Amino acid sequence: DSGVTQTPKHLITATGQRVTLRCSPRSGDLSVYWYQQSLDQGLQFLIQYYNGEERAKGNILERFSAQQFPDLHSELNLSSLELGDSALYFCASSSVGSRETQYFGPGTRLLVL
Amino acid sequence: LAKTTQPISMDSYEGQEVNITCSHNNIATNDYITWYQQFPSQGPRFIIQGYKTKVTNEVASLFIPADRKSSTLSLPRVSLSDTAVYYCLVGLDTGGFKTIFGAGTRLFVKA
């Protein structure tokens, strides 16, 4: 158990819909990262937040947005969903430092029908 | 951000030592090298991290030559449960902490 929690574990929705994925980092970790992993694909970095502020942005679509709240939990919002958005979405957290180790949650499996 | 190159896949047998090499020719002075392990449908798990020479923990060893342009993850006496994808990461984007996971190395351990 990494200490990072993600909800829900599974999500099935239809094209055009909007969903919200939630992540709670390890206690004390200020950084939260979001990744997308499609079937048999590598991990694609989406976005990072540090103590409530956006720190880095990767290949995140404009239909996707995220935020980190004062209690440090984070939400990833996916809108106007397409079939190709079906994937595993991982959240990771880390402590302060330029070489911080990332601890990953169990992921949310999203299926868009 | 240093780009990494790893073999796409490797096969091994139980009880053997497995060495996975990662090339990172443009590694920066302040970059560290980190390896993660990922099982199907699970999030990656930190294995080991190092800067130079050799690092060893209860799971693996990491060998880094003097020029730091490559690194080798060594898994002693692998078992079937070591079948996974192994990712090598080097450094962090100087403009922000943007982590780039490559394709990784898919290790198959056979009985």
Partners of B33 on chain A (C-beta within 8 Å) are none
Read off the pLDDT of each residue in B39-57 and give the average, rounded to a whole number: 92
B56-81 confidence digits (pLDDT tens): 999 999 999 999 999 999 999 999 99
CA–CA separation, B35 and B49 (whole Å): 6
Give the count of beta carbons closer than 10 Å to the beta carbon of residue A109.
Answer: 16
In this predicted structure, which of A98-102, A107-111, B54-58, B67-71 has the lowest mean pLDDT?
Answer: A98-102
Please compute the mean of the pLDDT values over residues A16-36 and round it to a whole number: 95
Question: Taking CB atoms and an 8 Å limit, are B96 and A48 in contact across chains?
Answer: yes
Say yes or no to pLDDT of A15 above 60. yes
B40 touches chain A (CB under 8 A): no
Identify the H or E element spanning A54. Answer: strand A53-57
Structure tokens at B27: 């590694």
Query: Hey, what are A40's tokens?
Result: 């048999």
Q: Which residues of B touch A42 (CB under 8 A)?
A: 87, 101-104
pLDDT of residue B106: 95
Interface check for B39 against chain A (CB to CB < 8 A): the answer is no
> For residue A22, what pLDDT band results from cuts at 50, 70 and 90?
very high
pLDDT of residue B21: 96
pLDDT at B92: 57
Q: Which class for B7: exposed (0-12), middle (13-18), buried (19 or more C-beta within 10 A)?
A: middle
The pLDDT confidence band at residue B94, using thresholds 50, 70 and 90, is: very low
Tell me how far apart the alpha carbons of residues A101 and A32 are, in angstroms, rounded to a whole number.
12
- Of B24, B33, B13, B27, the closest CA to residue B75 belongs to B13
Q: What is the mean pLDDT of residues B16-36?
A: 90
Indicate yes or no: CB of B101 within 8 angstroms of CB of A45: yes
Q: Which residues of A8-45 are buried (b: 16+ CB within 10 A; e: fewer)?
A: eeebebeeeeebebebbbbeebbbbbbbbbeeeebbbb
Question: What is the predicted pLDDT for the residue at B97?
Answer: 56
